[in-house]
Amino acid sequence: MENSYKKTNRLINSLSPYLIQHAHNPVDWYEWGEEAFEKARTENKLMIVSIGYSACHWCHVMAHECFEDDATAAIMNENFVCIKIDREELPDVDQIYMDACQLVNGNGGWPLNAFTLPDKRPLHAMTYAPKERWQEILLNLHGLWQKEPTTAIDYAKKLSQGIANMSLAPALSDSDNHENISTDVLSVFEAQYDTVYGGPKRAPKFPMPSNYRYLLQYGVLKNNDLAKNMGLFTLKQMALGGIYDAVGGGFARYSVDNRWFAPHFEKMLYDNAQLISLYSYAYAVSQNYFYKKIALETLAFCNSEMKSKSDLFYSAYDADSEGVEGLYYTFTYDELTTVLGAEAGDFCRYYQCIPSGNWEEGRNILYAIDTIDKASQQLGIEEQKLEALVANSLVKLKTFRSKRIAPGLDDKCICSWNNLMLKALAEAAIWLNEPQFSGQSNTLADTILKIYYSAEGLKRTSKNEHVKIDAFLEDYATLIDGLITTYQATFNETHLLKAKEICEYTIANFYNKKNGFFEFNSNNSETLIAPKYDVNDDVISSGNSIMAHNLWRLSFYFSHTDWYVLANTMLNALTPSIKKSAPWYSHWAALQLFKEEGTHQIILSGPEDLRNTLPLKQYYIQPNAIVGFAGKVTAIPLFEGKQYKGEALVYLCKDYVCNAPEAYSVENN
């Protein structure tokens, strides 16, 4: 196949499908590394650092318009050293140049194209540009570097200083904060809440799992219906919307509108893993089967479409197929009537599909009018009949759709995203009361550790079990979190002990004692323009907030009061940000909520046959509860003195005070 291309560049040897997509560009691409840097220094050339990912629609558009064009490539090759980066492999480099882009333009996105000096300091950064504009920028910046290098260097200095200023860790507080701020936090969420469609009052709309998880947790701990209903209603609207793939299961990355209707059709593992957790918890909180159904369907999608032969999970599916965004997921009215026959009319009424199409190019996105029970009343169809009709029709459409050319699969496996799936499986086992998923979480935990972890630390990515790139804080934090949660689903102490071991490694290699936070890169990593301190909770919670939760929980399991103090110190520093901008610090806000409510420890002391039965179910819904199992022998300090001695007992503790043990029986669980 290689011989059929006019050119093959060095990206052909990459493990990243995104980089391999560019392996036959006429651009002389390098991967990020010393070979490219040395060439730039030796030839005194500016570097182009072009960053994207395989499921990025506009990355593909710019590649086709610019990087596959011989004339454009000639300008790039002659005047620049050109570097291609998969942002999912190198999120640290991506963030540095994204900061530059935001400083230059006031916004950012992908494709991200940074122009840097030979020493990697950015001179300019931008997102998508059509070919003529891109060529103009290439020539202007090359001309500046040739004619006015001092001007270019001065500007790069200022831009780099701006990036450094954006990278500072929050200032630590001198005193412990005992202020109860959760009411203020809920007010911030309420002020931004969309009462019609759920989520925030804006477009586009991204699923923000940490936000909705916080609302459900607040609702449970404070017995607050407002918070609980904001979370549940948002999740309902998302699952009814076009952002959810009713035919095949799973969620797209975001909707371009304010009503969850038209998705950007790429499907990412990190979204779906976290949403499995979230819908599972929503079911536990509400006991409404609708949420369990969505969780199970999303699990089925991940297991059937994203799972590798090694039991790891792939990264993403593209938004495009056959060069058209959303083609795989949408239907013309004629297709619907042909496939569904007599059932098409009621099906189209339920999913709001029309002859002219409810979306672009005469195509329809499936967008349900409501849940089946409420829609049956609106449509005048008996509930069981509508439920059967919809289920039968979706099966037919799935069979029809399977004959289409599917979107491209990014088949690299990312450590942190698999860690999120590890947590999802464990939480699905707990909250859906589906023990089979605890077995899968056990298997996945073992696989992650086997492939990614060694005495030298974690790796970030793999493909066919070949690993690449040292891991970042996100990878360590999510693995610790996933292992703790897997312990709570399985009561396999090996996972908890491994979580402690990796936590110790993370403290030794990422923690900055001077400012009290964890750096995004380890102290053995490449030195970038500025150290990054990941504290904002985005679609994936920040590495520092996840670590704070990890330290908080492990401090109780292992009697590590210094870890409790460390987590509390970090939390105190974020209190002003939580109060002001709660949706961007919602995982921190959750820890603040637990601090206000106190931390429960619930330990079952019992025989081995209880270990795998998901006991203590009534306690799992409490987000501030640390749950454990003490058999006859234990290596966990929290369980010492509570080992099983012939009578099954439950120990109920809060913070550092325990009540007298109570007799335990499965019937009363």
Mean pLDDT by 10-residue block, N- to C-terminus, for the chain (669 residues)?
A: 71 92 96 96 97 90 96 97 96 94 92 96 96 97 96 95 87 72 93 97 96 98 97 98 98 96 96 98 97 98 96 94 93 98 97 97 97 96 97 98 96 97 97 94 97 95 91 98 96 97 97 94 85 92 98 96 96 93 96 94 92 79 93 94 93 89 76
Would you say how long the chain is, in residues?
A: 669
Neighbour count for residue 183 (Cβ, 10 Å): 11
Domain containing residue 54: CATH number = 3.40.30.10
Q: Let me know if residue 147 belongs to a domain.
A: yes
Looking at the fold, whether 244 and 320 belong to one and the same domain comes out as yes
Looking at the fold, whether 234 and 354 belong to one and the same domain comes out as no
CA distance 595 to 592: 5
Looking at the fold, whether 441 and 584 belong to one and the same domain comes out as yes
Looking at the fold, whether 429 and 566 belong to one and the same domain comes out as yes
Looking at the fold, whether 36 and 148 belong to one and the same domain comes out as yes
User: What residue numbers bound the domain in which 443 lies?
Assistant: 183-325+410-597
Q: Let me know if residue 268 belongs to a domain.
A: yes
Looking at the fold, whether 641 and 554 belong to one and the same domain comes out as no
Please give the pLDDT value at position 323. Answer: 86
Looking at the fold, whether 100 and 44 belong to one and the same domain comes out as yes
Domain boundary among 403, 418, 452: 403
Please give the pLDDT value at position 530. Answer: 83
Looking at the fold, whether 227 and 285 belong to one and the same domain comes out as yes
Question: Closest Cα partner for 323 from 61, 128, 129, 110?
Answer: 61
Question: Closest Cα partner for 96 from 141, 137, 49, 134?
Answer: 49
**Residue 542 DSSP one-character state:** P
Q: Let me know if residue 174 belongs to a domain.
A: no
556-561 long-range contacts (CB < 8 A, ≥24 apart) are 556/599, 556/601, 556/626, 556/638, 557/496, 557/500, 557/626, 557/628, 557/636, 557/637, 557/638, 558/500, 558/636, 558/637, 558/638, 559/637, 559/638
Q: Let me know if residue 490 belongs to a domain.
A: yes
Q: Let me know if residue 175 belongs to a domain.
A: no
How confident is the model over 584-609, as pLDDT tens digits?
999 999 999 999 999 999 999 999 88
Q: Let me know if residue 284 belongs to a domain.
A: yes
Looking at the fold, whether 454 and 353 belong to one and the same domain comes out as no
Looking at the fold, whether 310 and 336 belong to one and the same domain comes out as no
Q: Let me know if residue 281 belongs to a domain.
A: yes
Please give the pLDDT value at position 614. Answer: 75
Domains contained in the chain, number: 4
CA distance 213 to 591: 12
Looking at the fold, whether 217 and 293 belong to one and the same domain comes out as yes
Percent of the chain with pLDDT over 90: 87
Measured in whole angstroms, the distance separating CA 570 from the mean position of its chain's CA atoms is 22
Q: Let me know if residue 173 belongs to a domain.
A: no
Domain boundary among 388, 403, 418: 403
Q: Which two tokens stand for residue 170?
A: 């929050």
Domain boundary among 569, 597, 625: 597
Domain containing residue 214: CATH number = 1.50.10.10
How confident is the model over 327-383, as pLDDT tens digits?
999 999 999 999 999 999 999 999 999 999 999 999 999 999 999 999 999 999 999
Looking at the fold, whether 143 and 289 belong to one and the same domain comes out as no
